[in-house]
């Protein structure tokens, strides 16, 4: 079997050679249409990013007000609302303008999917917050640190609590194997602050609407916006 012949590589030039990209012609106006659509997407994305905060703020306010008012009834609590533009206040608004404003709907959904947070900000806010009964909020009742690793971290838990003895035993074993094969430790563990499992149930009873909105900023959850076009309503 012939062996692959090796070659000597030339020295790298001081100046990078200019790459000549060949041109290929595509039938029709496909390139122009694509570029125009790309521009429209960029412009639309910019507009959406500008409008999203207003819609999310309105949706959060509505959902949180409703859930706070139904704090003791989990079945009555909601996670979504339909957002509509206000009716034109101009007395000269035409029937068509009013009808069009009523057709446009955007559904806001608040989820319990927790997003990344800043532990220092969370702790600072809990130090400031007061519950509805006037008492200081204890952060340990609502959030706590968890160990995050690249394998099943349940092995670190005993009776629902983090067991340091097990954790250190696993880490020592991994360290021993890593040293044996002279490789870096393949596992890295870090602690992250996460809301307690019952946080999103307790929050409505323990905190008022304004406090819950503040908590949403430091312990954020995923919020979604879904346009519902008139055609989808059968209108």
- For residue range 1-23, list pLDDT tens digits in order: 444 444 444 555 555 567 889 99
Return the pLDDT at 98: 64
Which residues is 224 bridged to in the sheet? 109
Return the pLDDT at 218: 97
Of residues 133, 108, 106, the one with CA closest to residue 216:
108
In a domain, 211, yes or no: yes
pTM more than 0.75: no
Residue 159, Cβ density class (10 Å: 0-12 exposed, 13-18 middle, ≥19 buried): exposed
In a domain, 82, yes or no: yes
Together in a domain, 120 and 139: yes
Query: Which of 36-40, 66-70, 149-153, 190-194 is predicted least confidently?
Result: 149-153
Return the pLDDT at 233: 46
DSSP letter string over 48-97? HHHHHHHHHHHHHHHHHHHHHHTTT-GGG--SEEEE-PPPP--TT--HHH
Return the pLDDT at 104: 86
Together in a domain, 142 and 224: no
Together in a domain, 111 and 224: yes
Together in a domain, 137 and 165: no
Phi, psi of 169, rounded to the nearest 5 degrees: -65, -45
Return the pLDDT at 167: 87
Together in a domain, 99 and 40: yes
Return the pLDDT at 1: 45
Rounded CA gap, 186 and 173, in Å?
12
Together in a domain, 137 and 168: no
In a domain, 163, yes or no: yes
The per-residue pLDDT for range 122-158, each reduced to its tens digit, is 999 999 999 999 999 999 999 999 887 666 778 888 8
Return the pLDDT at 99: 66
Average pLDDT in the chain? 86
In a domain, 167, yes or no: yes
Domain count, the chain: 3
The per-residue pLDDT for range 46-87, each reduced to its tens digit, is 999 999 999 999 999 999 999 999 998 999 999 999 999 877
Together in a domain, 129 and 107: no
In a domain, 2, yes or no: no
Domain limits at 97? 31-86+93-115+220-235
């Amino acid at each position: 079997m012939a062996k692959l012949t090796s070659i000597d590589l030339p020295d790298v030039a001081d100046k990078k050679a200019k790459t000549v990209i060949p041109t290929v012609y595509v039938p029709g106006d496909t390139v122009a249409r694509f570029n125009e659509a790309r521009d429209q997407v960029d412009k639309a994305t910019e507009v959406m990013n500008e409008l999203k905060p207003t819609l999310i703020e309105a949706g959060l306010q509505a959902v949180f007000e409703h859930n706070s008012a139904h704090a003791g009834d989990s079945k009555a609590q909601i996670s979504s609302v339909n957002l509509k533009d206000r009716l034109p206040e101009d007395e000269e608004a035409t029937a068509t303008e009013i009808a069009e404003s009523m057709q446009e709907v955007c559904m806001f959904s608040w989820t319990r999917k927790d997003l990344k947070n800043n532990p220092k900000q969370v702790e600072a806010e809990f130090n400031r917050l007061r519950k509805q009964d006037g008492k200081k909020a204890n952060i340990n009742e609502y959030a706590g640190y968890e160990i995050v690793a690249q394998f099943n971290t349940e092995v670190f838990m005993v009776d629902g609590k983090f067991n340091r003895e097990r954790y250190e035993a696993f880490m020592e074993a991994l360290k021993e194997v890593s040293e044996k094969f002279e490789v870096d430790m393949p596992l890295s563990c870090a602690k992250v602050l996460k809301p307690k499992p019952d946080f999103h149930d307790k929050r409505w009873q323990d905190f008022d609407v304004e406090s819950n909105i503040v908590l949403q900023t430091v312990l954020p959850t995923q919020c979604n916006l879904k346009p519902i076009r008139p055609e989808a309503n059968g209108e």
